[in-house]
Amino acid sequence: MRIGVLGLQGAVREHVRSLERLGVDTLVVKRVEELPEISALVLPGGESTAISLIGGEPFLERLRDLAKGGFPFFGTCAGMILLASEIEGRSEAYVGAIDITVARNASGRQVHSFETLLEVEGIGGDVPAVFIRAPYITRLGQGVSALAKYNGHVVIARQGNVLVSSFHPELTDDLRIHEYFLNIVKKRNQEDMK
């Protein structure tokens, strides 16, 4: 199993470090040709518009195709925006891998960044969460599970093989959310082997 981390901008090194601490082989993905080499893809935070432009349309098209096939994705902050099926104030989605609507920068500007502890379903209590200009999930589609809320807003959700969070688990030393995602990938790999 090899996990890719989209290496166009954002907290790439931090995600790689978290995954490697869990003993996982990783690949920083910068080209569409590298996608067949991975079992799953992490889309880090950063600026969603910049990430989508750097990757270009062929990259986005390939990600959309992978999403339709149930490929595992994990998006944090801007990565969540890229994976959402609907973005407030934008006419179309980028990848559309999870049936949610997101509001960009819903937690405020950079100066309003904060850290807190969350109770995350399937993961546990006291999960540290770092929010930086975080988007919030404003709508959950059918089949999407809310795993945690903060001040009434859904901040981590899952649909099938896709996991998204408003916050940055890679900026903490807690590996439970990455481990949760790895279990999704392992389950998918086992199903593919049957």
Of residues 36 and 190, more confidence is placed in 36
37 is catalytic: no
**Residue among 14, 15, 57, 170 flagged as catalytic:** 170
pLDDT at 106 exceeding the cut of 80: no
Domains assigned to the chain: 2-193 (3.40.50.880)
pLDDT at 109 exceeding the cut of 60: no
Question: Where is average pLDDT lowest: 14-18, 26-30, 93-97, 131-135?
Answer: 131-135
- pLDDT, one tens digit per residue, over 58-85 is 888 899 999 999 999 999 998 999 999 9
* pLDDT, position 48: 57
pLDDT at 114 exceeding the cut of 70: yes
- Answering whether pTM is above 0.95, one says no
15 is catalytic: no
Per-residue confidence band for 189, with pLDDT thresholds at 50, 70 and 90: confident
Residue 110 phi/psi, 5-degree rounding, is -50, -40
Taking CA atoms, 92 is separated from 6, 41, 187, in Å, by 21, 22, 31
Q: What is the residue-wise DSSP string for 121-134?
A: TTTEEEEEEEESS-
* pLDDT, position 80: 94
Q: How many helices (H) and strands (E) in the chain?
A: 4, 12
168 is catalytic: yes
Q: Residue holding tokens 């049957």? A: 194
DSSP state letter for 55: H
* pLDDT, position 104: 75
**Residue among 77, 112, 119, 153 flagged as catalytic:** 77
Return d(Cα 53, Cα 69) in angstroms, integer: 23
**Residue among 14, 15, 168, 178 flagged as catalytic:** 168
DSSP state letter for 33: G
Residue type, 28: V
